[in-house]
Structure 1
Amino acid sequence: MDWVERTAQLRQWTRNGTRAPHKPLLFLYALSRFQQDADDELRYSAVEEDLRGLLAEYGPGNRTTPAYPFHHLVSDGVWEVRTERGPGSPGTGVRELRATGAAGRLTPELRAALRREPSLLGRMARVLLDLNFPPSLHGELCEAVGLELEQAEIALLSAARRQRDRRMREMVLTAYEYQCAFCGYDGRIGAVPVGLEAAHVRWWAFDGPDDVENGLCLCSLHHKLFDKGVLGLGEDRGEGHRILVSQSFVGRSTAAREHVITLAGRPLIGPQPGVRPVAAAHRSWHTSQVFHGSPRTTTTA
C-alpha cells in the first residue's frame, strides 16, 4: 500500500478553493504522537483543546469543532476510533465523543508500516504540509504539533504533481522593486536582498499560480503575518489596495504597534508601472480563507 499517496488523497470538503485543513491537522498531530509513543491512544477529551487550538490558529476563520476530523478521518483508512463500547466512532457530536470515552489512533496497518520504515513518517508529513499550508508556516506548524522532521526524511514529491516555478521569487521582487509592499523595507547585503520574500496571495497549495498577479514582495515578518491571517488586502476601489489588519491581533509593545497595528488602512506599495497588481480573485480568496475576523478601523500614527 502506498501510504504517501493515500495521505495525498485525503477526502476533504472543498468548493471554490475553500480551505478545510481539519483532517490534515489531526493527521499531523497523530503522526507526532506516534513519533513520541507508537502505542499511545488519543482520548478525545484529553486532546480536544490541543486540536481546537490548532484549528483556530491554522484553519480558516469560520469556527468548527475538532470532533469533525476525529470522526471523519476514519473514512480515509489511516485512523481508527473506539469507545468504551467497542470499535467505531459514535459520530461527530462532542458530547458523544466525551461521554463514550472515544479514543483514536493510526490504524494497525499504518503503525506497522511506520515501524518498518521510519522515514515514511517524514514523507507523509511533508505531503500534508505541502498540500495544505504555505512554506512560511511549515516549521512553526511542526513545532505546534510537536513533530520532529529530519532533513534526510524529507523526500521530493512525485514528479507528477504540479511543480513550482522557480522564477516566481525573482519576478515578484523585481515587480515590487525589491521593497516590502507593506512597510517599504528594502535591506541588502551588497547587491543581495535579505529578508525579502515572494508571498503567494492565493496559496500554491490551493491552486495559486506562480505569477506576479498572485504575488507580493514582503519582508519576512509581514510575509508570516500575511500567511497567518493577521494582515490582508482590502478591495481596490480605484486608488489601489489598502492594508487590512485583523481585529484579532493584539500587540501592546511599541514594536507591535509600529510594525503591525499602524499599517491598518495604509495604501499598499504597488508594483512598478506597467505591472499588473494583485488580481481581485486572488485577493478575495485570501480574505475569505486566510484573513482572520474583521479588519481594524484605520488608525493614525
Structure 2
Amino acid sequence: MDWLQRIVRLRQWTRNGTRAPHKPLLLLYALGRFQEDADRELRYSAVEGDLQRLLAEYGPPNRTTPAYPFHHLVSDGVWEVRTDRGPGSPGSGLRELRESGAAGRLAPDLRDALRREPVLLHRIARSLLDLHFPPSLHGELCEAVGLDLEPAETGRLSAARRQRDRRMRELVLTAYEYRCAFCGYDGRIDTVPVGLEAAHVRWWAFDGPDDVDNGLCLCSLHHKLFDKGVLGVGDGHRILVSQRFVGHSPAARDHVTALSGRPLIGPQPGAAPVAADHRSWHMRQVFHGSPRPAATPRVADAR
C-alpha cells in the first residue's frame, strides 16, 4: 500500500483555496505521539485541549473544533476510533466523543508499516507539512506536536504535487531591493543578505504561484508574523495588523503595532506589486480577526 499517496489524497473540504488543515494537524499530532509510544491510544477527552490549541494557532481564522477530524479521518483509512462500547466512532459531536470515552490512533496497517520502515514516518510528516503549511512554520509545528524529524528527510518528497521555482527568492528580493517590505531591514554579511526571505502571500501549498506578484521580501520576524496571521496587506498595499495581536513592550509596539496603516516598502518601479487576488486569499485564510486602525505617529516629548 502506498501510504504517501493515501496521505496526499486525504478527503478535505475545499472551495476557492479554503484552508482545512484539521486532518493534517491531527495526523501530525498522532505521528508525534507514535514516536513516543507506538501502541498508545489518544483518548479524545485527554487530547482535545492540545488539538484545539493546534487548530487555533495553525488552522484557519474561523473558529473550529477538533471533533470533526477525530471522527472523519476514519474514512481515509489511516485512523481508527473506538469507544467504551467497542470499535467505531460515535460521531463528530463534542458530547458524543467525550461521554463515550472515544479514543483514536493510527490504523493498524499503518502502524505496522511504520514499525517495519521507520523512515516512512518522516516522509509522511514531511508530505503533510509541505502540502498544507508554509516552510516558515514547519520547525515550530514539529515542536508543537512533538515530532523529531531526521535532517536527511527535510527535502521535498515525490508525493508533493509540483516543484518550486528556485528562482523566486532572488526575483522577489531583487524586486524589493533587498529590503523588508514591512520594516526596511536590509542586513548583510559582506555582500550576502541575512535574515531576508521571500514570502508567499498565497501559500505555495494552496496553489500560490512562484511569481513576483505573489511574493514579498520580508525579514525573518515579519515573515513569521505574516504567515501566522498577525500581519497582512490591505487595499492600497498598506500594512494591516490584527486586533488580536497583544504586545506591550516597546519592541512589540515598534516592530508590529506601529506598522498598521503604513505603505509597503517597494517593489521598485517596473516590478509587479502583490496581486489583489493573492492579498484577498491571505486576508480570508490566514489573517486573524479585524485590522487595527492605522497607527498614530508618536511625537517626541517637548523639552
Same-fold status (TM-score > 0.5)? yes
TM interval, shorter chain, is over 0.9
Q: Quote the Cα distance in structure 1 between the aligned partners of 2:178 and 2:156.
A: 30
Matched, 1:243 2:239: yes
Structure 2 contact 127–160 (Cα < 8 Å) conserved: no
TM alignment of 1:59-138, pairs within 5 A? 59-138=59-138
Structure 2 contact 130–156 (Cα < 8 Å) conserved: no
Structure 1 contact 28–125 (Cα < 8 Å) conserved: yes
Q: Which amino acid aligns with 1:297?
A: P
Q: Any gaps of 5 or more consecutive residues in structure 1?
A: none
Root-mean-square deviation (CA, aligned residues, Å) is 1.0
Identity %: 81
Q: Which amino acid aligns with 2:243?
A: Q
How much does 1:153 deviate? 3.5
Q: Quote the Cα distance in structure 2 between the aligned partners of 1:152 and 1:159.
A: 16
Structure 1 contact 182–218 (Cα < 8 Å) conserved: yes
3-state SS, counterpart of residue 40 of structure 1: coil
Q: Which amino acid aligns with 2:75?
A: S
How much does 1:274 deviate? 1.1
Structure 1 contact 45–101 (Cα < 8 Å) conserved: yes
Q: Quote the Cα distance in structure 2 between the aligned partners of 1:26 and 1:257.
A: 35
Q: 2:224 matched to which residue of 1? A: 224
3-state SS, counterpart of residue 14 of structure 1: coil
Q: Quote the Cα distance in structure 2 between the aligned partners of 1:57 and 1:35.
A: 23
Match of 1:279 among 275, 280, 292: 275
Q: 1:181 matched to which residue of 2? A: 181
The farther-off stretch of 243-252 and 157-166 is 157-166
Match of 2:250 among 226, 246, 254: 254
1:135-166 CA-to-partner distances (Å, cap 9, x unmatched) read 00000000011111011244641187311000
1:209-252 CA-to-partner distances (Å, cap 9, x unmatched) read 0010000000000000000000001112xxxx110001111111
How much does 1:269 deviate? 1.0
Q: Quote the Cα distance in structure 1 between the aligned partners of 2:160 and 2:33.
A: 31
How much does 1:278 deviate? 0.3
3-state SS, counterpart of residue 288 of structure 1: helix
How much does 1:100 deviate? 0.3
The farther-off stretch of 261-270 and 172-181 is 261-270
Q: Quote the Cα distance in structure 2 between the aligned partners of 1:22 and 1:162.
A: 22
Q: How many residues align?
A: 297
Structure 2 contact 31–121 (Cα < 8 Å) conserved: yes
Q: 1:8 matched to which residue of 2? A: 8
- TM-score, normalised relative to structure 1: 0.97
Q: Any gaps of 5 or more consecutive residues in structure 2?
A: 299-303
Q: 1:293 matched to which residue of 2? A: 289
